Amino acid sequence: MGLEIYVLIKQVPEIREIKINPKTGTIIREGIETIINPDDLNGLELGISLKEQYGGYVTAVTMGPPQAELALREALAMGVDGAILISDPRFAYSDTLQTTLVLKEVFNSIRHYDIIITGSKTADSSTGQVPYQLSEALDIPLITDIFSMSIEGGIFYCHRNFGHESQNIMVELPVLIRVPRHFNVPRHVSLLRIKRAFRKKIKIIDHKYLNFPAHLDGCNQSPTKVVKTFEIKHERKHEFIQGNVNEKIYKLISIMREHGIERIWTGGNK
């Protein structure tokens, strides 16, 4: 029957467009250009490649507001077979823990899955926590930093580098894979595929679909609280050095000695 592969993606603001609401400490998403989180494109490419090699069905999954549907349309255009949008006002403002709890309920309702793929982190928060938390929540192995992989008879084989070690791993499916950026090259999306993607149906999962579990209230149950946000401004002191070449050299050496840089470079004490 082939593999049941799920790729978790997220719609994020274009990094140059990110703005923070100073009162709530949350990202302003209205009226901002959005894209698929860059790391997740590598996850989508891996999922599609595994389907092409071993057969199966690839589903892209995202949690977000209704407009996150556009990210799923792009994933469909890349070549995934199905798409799930987890969207409900009660899930708004979920931190990584609440997001994990929602995903746990979703995968418990799905029941059968062989491989779950995530990117390494998101561009709008960069915590990288969800893969680890979801692995614990679903009680399935998480493997990171994979170099090569193969699947045979329900067994997942891979080689990875972990710190100073090189590891060969063999585990039974299901497995969760965390894909680093630049792991592969995401395929080009043609205009014809984009057109076809808008004809496909997207499955919507909301609070009602999950039987109204009270603990999934992201607004009130998320333990993470934003206390303060501020914009970091990099201010650098600059000085123009005047004179001929020798004068400039001596002045520069004097400045380096003043700040201890000359000793670091040369090891000298003069």
Residue 61, CA distances (Å) to 64, 83, 102, 183, 219 in order = 10, 6, 12, 20, 21
pTM: 0.76
What's the confidence (pLDDT) of residue 229?
A: 62
Q: How many CA atoms lie within 13 A of 236 on its CB side?
A: 2
CATH code 3.30.70.580 for 3-221: no
| CATH 3.40.50.620 boundaries in the chain | 3-221
The pLDDT score that the predictor gives to residue 270 is 47
CA pseudo-torsion sign 103, 104, 108, 112: positive
d(CA 70, CA 60): 12
Relative orientation angle of helices 38-54 and 69-78, to the nearest 10 degrees: 40
Structure tokens at 151: 């699947």
Amino acid in the structure at residue 128: G
Taking alpha carbons only, the member of 103, 122, 41, 28 closest to residue 77 is 41
- Rounded Cα–Cα distance for residues 250 and 252 (Å): 5
Q: Is the peptide bond before 180 cis (omega within 30 degrees of 0)?
A: no
Q: Which residues of the chain have pLDDT under 70?
A: 1, 14-32, 123-126, 218-232, 234, 262-270
C-alpha–C-alpha distance, residues 135 and 114, integer Å: 13
Q: Specify the pLDDT at position 234.
A: 67
Q: In angstroms, rounded to a whole number, what is the distance separating the alpha carbons of residues 142 and 140?
A: 7
SS3 251: helix
